[in-house]
Amino acid sequence: MALKVLKFFMQIILILLAVILLGGLIYMRSERFGASAEGERLLKMQQQSNYKDGVFENLEHTPPLAEGTTYSDMIRSFFFSKKERNIPSSPLPVVKTDLKALPSDSDLYVWFGHSSYLLQLDGKKILVDPVFSTYASPVRISAKAFPMQYKYTPEDIPEIDILVITHDHWDHLDYNTFMAIKSRVNHIVTSLGVAAHLEKWGYPSQQISELCWGESAQIGSFTFTATTSRHFSGRTFKRNTTLWSSFVVQSTTLKIFIGGDSGYGKHFKQIGEQYGPFDYAILENGQYNPMWKYIHMMPEEVILAAKDLNSQYTIPVHNSKFALAMHPWDEPMIRIANAAQQHNISLVTPRIGEIVPLKEYRPLPYWWEDVD
C-alpha cells in the first residue's frame, strides 16, 4: 500500500514538473523575450572581429565565474546563505521632480535608481536604460524593487529625444517600460543586435542607431560612440547573441561616459586615452561579488576606472533599487565614498529624483547614511 502511495505521489510530482517545464517553454516564446538577429543585421554581426561561433566575445579573457568558483557555489550562496540588510528596512528617500517641467536651458542629470537616469544636454532629453517595473526579471518572483517614498513610472517621463539602451539584460531593457514610452521616443542608440528586440516590439528601424564598438552616430548636436565593455548579454539561456557596450556622448559643451555594465579591465585606460578626458563618468557600482568579479566591478575598482578614464566627476549607478547580489544594499555607496576620498575623486551622489546641474558641481550629502 505504501509503495502504491509513493508511486502515486511521484507521478503527481512528475506531472507538475512537466507542466511547469511546458509552461516555461511557452512563456519564453512571448514577445517580451525579444527576437534573434537575422538578415543584414546578422551579417554585420558576423563581420565583427569579436563575433565567433554565433556569439560575441569580450576583448579580455572574461570567464563568467572567478577561478575556483562553480555554479553550485553561486547557487548555494545566493539561495541558502544568510543575506544581511540586502534590502533596506525603510523606504528610500526620493525627490519627486516634475520631469516635464525641467528648465530647458540647463544641462542636468536625474537618477531613478539602479542604472536608469535622465540626462538633459543642449536642451535635449536623453534617457538611459529605463526600468520602471516592480521586478527586474522575466518572472515576478525575484529582483523586486526596494520600497521607496515615491515610485517613478513611465507616465512621469516626458518626450525623449534619445533613448540609450546599453545592452539587453532585463535590469537594463525592460519590456513593460519600453512599451509604455516608445511612442514618446524620437530616436534610440543601442548596441549591435539589440535592435532586433526593439523592432519586434514595434519601434521603427529607421529611428535606431545600432552600433558596434568604435562606431559613431551623429544625432543632432550629439556624437554617440559605442565603446568597449567587459560584460555579457542575453534575455534567454543563451548568452552573448547581442553586444554590450559603453557609450561616449559628446554634446556642444560636455563629454560624458555612459558605462553600462562592466568588470574592471584595460579597456577603461584605452577609452580614456582615445576619447577622454571626460566631464562625467557614469559607472556601475553594485551587484558585485568576488565570484563574478570579471563582469561587475568592486566599488574600489570603480574609482580606478574613473581615474583611467580621466574623468573630472564620477556618478555611481547600478545600486539602490534591486538586490541582484548578496551584499548589503548600502555597501556599494559606503565603499565607493571611502575609496573616492582616498583617491581624491569628486563623487556625485544625488538622491533618487534629485536634479543635479551638470555645470555647477557641489558635493552632495551621503543620503544613504540616514536609511536603515
Q: 261-320, pLDDT tens digit by residue?
A: 999 999 999 999 999 999 999 999 999 999 999 999 999 999 999 999 999 999 999 999
- The pLDDT value recorded for residue 28 is 52
Q: For residues 283 and 318, what is the distance between their CA atoms, to the nearest angstrom?
A: 8
Q: For residues 267 and 286, what is the distance between their CA atoms, to the nearest angstrom?
A: 19
Q: What is the bridge-based pairing of β-strands 216-219 and 346-347?
A: unpaired
Q: What is the mean pLDDT of the chain?
A: 92
Q: What phi and psi values does residue 290 have, to the nearest 5 degrees?
A: -55, -25
Report residue 354's pLDDT band, with 50, 70 and 90 as the boundaries: very high
- The pLDDT value recorded for residue 2 is 53
- Which residues make beta-bridge pairs with 263? none
* Stated pTM of the model: 0.93
- Sheet with 346-347: strands ordered across: 216-219, 222-227, 246-250, 255-258, 278-284, 311-317, 346-347
CATH class of 99-370: alpha beta
Q: Which residue is listed with cell 539602479?
A: 114
Q: What phi and psi values does residue 227 have, to the nearest 5 degrees?
A: -125, 170
- The pLDDT value recorded for residue 78 is 74
pLDDT(322) > 70:
yes
pLDDT(25) > 50:
no
Q: 120-171, pLDDT tens digit by residue?
A: 999 999 999 999 999 998 877 778 999 999 999 999 999 999 999 999 999 9
Three-class secondary structure assignment of the chain = CHHHHHHHHHHHHHHHHHHHHHHHHHHCCCHHHCCCCCHHHHHHHHCCCCEECCEECCCCCCCCCCCCCCHHHHHHHHHHCCCCCCCCCCCECECCCCHHHCCCCCCEEEECCCCCEEEEECCEEEEECCCCCCECCCCCCCCECCCECCCCCHHHCCCECEEEECCCCCCCCCHHHHHHHHHHECCEEEECCCHHHHHHCCCCHHHEEEECCCCEEEECCEEEEEECCCCCCCCCCCCCCCCCCEEEEECCCCEEEECCCCCCCCHHHHHHHHHCCEEEEEEECCCCCHHHCCCCCCHHHHHHHHHHHCEEEEEEECCCCCCCCCCCCCHHHHHHHHHHHHHCCEECCCCECCEEECCCCCCCCCHHHHCC
Mean pLDDT confidence for 48-60: 97
Mean pLDDT confidence for 209-222: 98
